[in-house]
Amino acid sequence: MISVDKALQIVLKNGKRLLPKKVKLENAAGLCLAEDIKSDLNMPPFNRSAMDGYAVIASDINPPVDLEVIENIRAGYNPKKKVGRGQSAKIMTGSVVPKGADAVIKVEETKPLDNDRKVRILKGTKKGANIARKGEDVRVGNVVLRKGTRIRAQEAGILAAVGAGNVKAYSTPSIGIISTGDELVEITRKPKPWQIRNSNSYSLAAQARQIVPDVEILGRVNDNEKEIMKLIKRGLRKDILILSGGVSMGEFDLVGGVLQDIGVKIFFEKVALRPGKPTVFGKKGDKLVFALPGNPVSTFVTFELFVKPCIKKMMGFTSYGHPIMHAELEREIKIRKKRREYRPALLSQAGSGWKVSLVDWHGSGDLFSTTKANCLLIVRESVEKLNAGDMVEVMLIDGLNVF
């Protein structure tokens, strides 16, 4: 039995970053860049007016003063004239500040005169006012986004701005999901009194699809060596194969044996973790196999702890973990010790801080309890006691969706 930290370290060591591919910008959000992106232009590309108003020479303005309007400059237009003493140019937000001018007066501080041929300036200004200087954000040739950056909406905007309509980004792993167990029936069927529906495939698929698109439910299989082997062989075409069920100590839990027969190298098969002890991780060639415990809460937790960070690493993320927050515990927790615990819990705001309490649950079979949770409360191996009012660590598993 190894620790959670050691297990994660082994997983991450074996989860190798995938090859880059060219992706259209529209489809690149959520991926990580596999190249540095340089700007092919200055931003702004010219001295740009930040306001609608009048481009002037700042030292010329001793308000009120009337200036000649020599040109009308709108966005997307290249000014033809140079502003001289006693002159101005009418200018729109986003437009090129004309030669000669060194400040823009807001339209609200002016009054048009003589059918727009002149303007009265009502307030003073200083050099540079309301002008975004050419290249002040980014200069030609600057790296605007580093290799490894995850593409969010902001990055998509910058990529568009520098003309990166296609980008090199790391590929996402393909994922296959198999559930095992004679007790499982397809979700469209009514289970007999001693059966249950195959829910793990659906929760696992939803967890995986939060981060990668190529996720396939390969089906369920009985506790039968030949059937399991056949389906696992199909699953090994995927970059990551996730099994659930069939990995505890029961005689009919065949998955571990089949994996070894098939040539999957097993790195660990037990983790000092609650829920989720019988978690198996292995590898065949460059294909990774996670055989997660079949209890639905264990399946859910072990996916978040081991599979999701592994997917992130393969996608080129530079940090893999979930955000950890600190919160005040509302009610005491009984500690069972020995193994680290990750318990479904509900985090909520309390003034400028956070409070957390365990959700009511009946053990690792109780997926229903997790629908009332928005985080996992971490109880470290060394902790002896947790009282109401203690500060505890919680792992966010769903962004920060506070109820």
Residues 170-189 binding a second copy (CB under 8 A) are: 181-184, 187-189
Q: Which of 371, 382, 385, 387: binder of a second copy (CB under 8 A)?
A: 371
Residue range at the interface with a second copy (CB under 8 A); choices 1-9, 11-19, 159-167, 260-268:
159-167
Q: Which one of 87, 88, 125, 295 is in contact with a second copy (CB under 8 A)?
A: 295
Give whichever of 21 and 133 is closer to a second copy, judged by the CB atom: 133
**Secondary structure E strands in 131-229:** 131-132, 143-145, 166-170, 175-180, 184-185, 196-197, 215-221
CB 175 within 8 A of CB 187: no
- Considering the complex, state which of residue 252 and residue 263 has its C-beta at the smaller distance from a second copy: 252
| C-alpha to C-alpha distances, 397 to 20, 201, 382, nearest whole angstrom | 27, 18, 23
Q: Which of 112, 148, 219, 365 binds a second copy (CB under 8 A)?
A: 365
**In whole angstroms, what is the distance from residue 140 CA to residue 14 CA?**
39
Of 2-10, 55-63, 258-266, 393-401, which part binds a second copy (CB under 8 A)? Answer: 393-401
Which CB, 287 or 308, lies closer to a second copy? 308
Buried-state track 181-217, b at ≥16 Cβ within 10 A, e below 16: bebbbeeeeeeeeeeebbebbebbeebbeebbeebbb
| DSSP state for residue 123 in the 8-state scheme | S
* Residue given tokens 């249950």 in the structure block: 196
Q: Contacting a second copy (CB under 8 A), which of 61, 119, 159, 175?
A: 159
- Residue among 87, 88, 110, 203 that touches a second copy (CB under 8 A): 203
* CB contact at 8 A, 352 and 344: no
Residue appearing with tokens 């829910």: 199
The mark string for 241-270 relative to a second copy (x by CB under 8 A, - otherwise) is ----x--xxxxxx-----------------
Rounded Cα distance between 170 and 23, Å, is 9
Q: Is 140 in the site for a second copy (CB under 8 A)?
A: no
Quick check: 304 and 310 in contact, CB under 8 A?
no
Q: Does 46 bind a second copy (CB under 8 A)?
A: yes
| Residue 1 lies near a second copy (rule: CB under 8 A) | no
> How far from each other are the two terminal CA atoms of the chain, in whole angstroms?
36
272 in contact with a second copy (CB under 8 A): no
As a whole number of angstroms, the distance between CA 308 and CA 186 comes to 26
5 forms part of the interface with a second copy (CB under 8 A)? no
User: Nearest approach, Cβ of 263 to a second copy (angstroms)?
Assistant: 27
Specify the amino acid at residue 344. Answer: P
Among residues 245 and 316, whose Cβ is nearest to a second copy? Answer: 245
Cα gap 162→157, rounded to integer Å:
9
* Residue from the set 35, 52, 68, 109 that interacts with a second copy by CB under 8 A: 52
The distance of closest approach from Cβ of residue 147 to a second copy in the complex, given in angstroms and rounded to an integer, is 14
Q: How far is CA 388 from CA 331, 383, 385, 391, in A?
A: 5, 14, 10, 9
Instruction: Tally the C-alpha atoms within 13 A of residue 271's C-alpha that lie toward its C-beta.
Output: 33
Comparison of 62 and 78: residue with beta carbon closer to a second copy: 78
Q: Is 273 in the site for a second copy (CB under 8 A)?
A: no
Site string for a second copy, 320-349 (x = CB under 8 A): ---x-xx-----------------------
Is residue 296 a contact point for a second copy (CB under 8 A)?
Answer: yes
User: Which one among 195, 266, 268, 355 touches a second copy, defined by CB under 8 A?
Assistant: 195
**Least distance CB 286 / a second copy (angstroms):** 27
Q: Cα–Cα–Cα angle for 378, 380, 384, nearest 5°?
A: 115
Residue span binding a second copy (CB under 8 A) among the ranges 163-171, 226-234, 283-291, 330-338: 163-171
Angstrom distance (rounded) from CA 216 to CA 208: 10
Task: Decide if residue 19 touches a second copy (CB under 8 A).
Answer: no
- DSSP label of 114: G
Residue 117 near a second copy by CB under 8 A: no
Residue 210 engages a second copy in binding (rule: CB under 8 A): yes
User: Taking contact as CB under 8 A, which single stretch among the options 4-12, 14-22, 25-33, 264-272 is the one that binds a second copy?
Assistant: 25-33
Binding track over 58-97 against a second copy, x by CB under 8 A: --------------x-xxxxxx------------xxxxx-
Token pair for 303: 């996916």
